Amino acid sequence: MFGYGARAAADDAWLISNKQNRSDYLYERALKVMVGGVNSPVRSFRAVGGKPIFFRKGKGSRLFDVDGKSYLDYVCSWGALILGHADDEVTEAICRAAMEGTSFGAPCEAEVKLAEEVTERMKSVEMVRFVNSGTEATMSAIRLARGYTGKKKIIKFAGCYHGHYDSFLADSGSGMATFSIPISAGVIDDTIKHTLTLAYNDVAMLENVMAEWRDDVAAVILEPIAGNMGVVPASKEFIEKARELCDKYNSLLIFDEVISGFRVARGGAQELYGIKPDITCLGKIIGGGMPVGAYGGSRQIMKHIAPEGNVYQAGTLAGNPVAMSAGLATLRKLGMQQYEQLERLSYMLEHGIKAAAEENKVSISINRVGSMIGIFFTDSDVKNYVDARKTDAKAYSKFFHYMLTLGVYLPPSPFETVFLSTSHSDEDIRMTVESASKAFQVI
Ligand code: HOZ
Catalytic residue status for 161: yes
CB of 44 closer than 8 Å to CB of 72: no
Beta bridge partners of residue 216, listed in sequence order: none
- Report the alpha-carbon distance of residue 428 to residue 216 in Å, rounded: 50
CB of 351 closer than 8 Å to CB of 389: no
Nearest CA to ligand 1 atom 6: 42
Give 186: exposed, middle or buried? Use CB within 10 Å, 0-12, 13-18, 19+. exposed
Phi, psi of 413 (to 5 degrees): -165, 145
Active-site residue, selected from the candidate residues 25, 27, 148, 161: 161
| Ligand 1, pocket-test mutation among 53, 164, 174, most atoms within 8 A of CB | 174
Instruction: Give, to the nearest 10 degrees, the angle between helix 393-405 and helix 426-442.
Output: 130
- Report the alpha-carbon distance of residue 276 to residue 311 in Å, rounded: 22
Map out the domains of the chain as residue ranges. 4-86+335-440, 88-333
If DSSP states are collapsed to H, E and C, what string results for the chain?
CCCCCHHHHHHHHHHHHCCCCHHHHHHHHHHHHCHHHCCCHHHHCCCCCCCCCCEEEEEECEEEECCCCEEEECCCHHHCCCCCECCHHHHHHHHHHHHCCCCCCCCCHHHHHHHHHHHHHCCCCCEEEEECCHHHHHHHHHHHHHHHHCCCEEEEECCCCCCCCHHHCECCCCHHHHCCCCECCCCCHHHHCCEEEECCCCHHHHHHHHHHCCCCEEEEEECCEECCCCCEECCHHHHHHHHHHHHHCCCEEEEECCCCCCCCCCCCHHHHHCCCCCEEEEEHHHHCCCCCEEEEECHHHHCCECCCCCECCCCCCCCCHHHHHHHHHHHHCCCHHHHHHHHHHHHHHHHHHHHHHHHCCCCCEEEEECCEEEEECCCCCCCCHHHHCCCCHHHHHHHHHHHHHCCEECCCCCCCCEECCCCCCHHHHHHHHHHHHHHHHHC
What spacing in Å lies between the alpha carbon of 376 and ligand 1's midpoint? 18
Average pLDDT per 10 consecutive residues for the chain, totaling 443 residues: 64 76 96 97 96 98 97 98 98 98 98 98 98 98 98 96 89 74 81 92 97 97 97 98 98 98 98 98 98 98 98 98 98 98 98 98 98 97 97 97 98 97 98 98 93
| Ligand 1, pocket-test mutation among 42, 43, 63, most atoms within 8 A of CB | 42
In this prediction, residue 188 carries a pLDDT of: 84
Q: Which of 374, 349, 103 is nearest to 227 (CA)?
A: 374
- Report the alpha-carbon distance of residue 231 to residue 264 in Å, rounded: 12
Domain 88-333 indexed as CATH 3.40.50.300? no
Which residues lie below 8 Å from residue 342, measured CB to CB, with a gap of 6+? Answer: 82, 370, 371, 420, 421, 422
Catalytic residue status for 339: no
Give 178: exposed, middle or buried? Use CB within 10 Å, 0-12, 13-18, 19+. buried
Atom of ligand 1 nearest to the CA of 41: 9
Whether the bond between 277 and the residue before it is cis, its omega within 30 degrees of 0, is no
Whether 228 lines ligand 1, by a CB cut-off of 6 Å, is: yes
Q: Which of 335, 341, 327 is nearest to 422 (CA)?
A: 341
In this prediction, residue 1 carries a pLDDT of: 45
In this prediction, residue 4 carries a pLDDT of: 57
What spacing in Å lies between the alpha carbon of 249 and ligand 1's midpoint? 34
Whether 39 lines ligand 1, by a CB cut-off of 6 Å, is: no
Within 10 angstroms of residue 418's Cβ, the number of other Cβ atoms is: 25
What spacing in Å lies between the alpha carbon of 310 and ligand 1's midpoint? 32
Equal fold, 4-86+335-440 vs 88-333: no
Catalytic residue status for 19: no
Whether 291 lines ligand 1, by a CB cut-off of 6 Å, is: no
- Which numeric CATH code is attached to 4-86+335-440? 3.90.1150.10
Whether 41 lines ligand 1, by a CB cut-off of 6 Å, is: yes
The single-letter code of the amino acid at 440 is F
| The overall pTM is greater than 0.75 | yes
Which residues lie below 8 Å from residue 142, measured CB to CB, with a gap of 6+? Answer: 154, 165, 167, 218, 219, 221, 254
In this prediction, residue 323 carries a pLDDT of: 98
Greatest CA separation found in the chain? 70
In this prediction, residue 259 carries a pLDDT of: 98
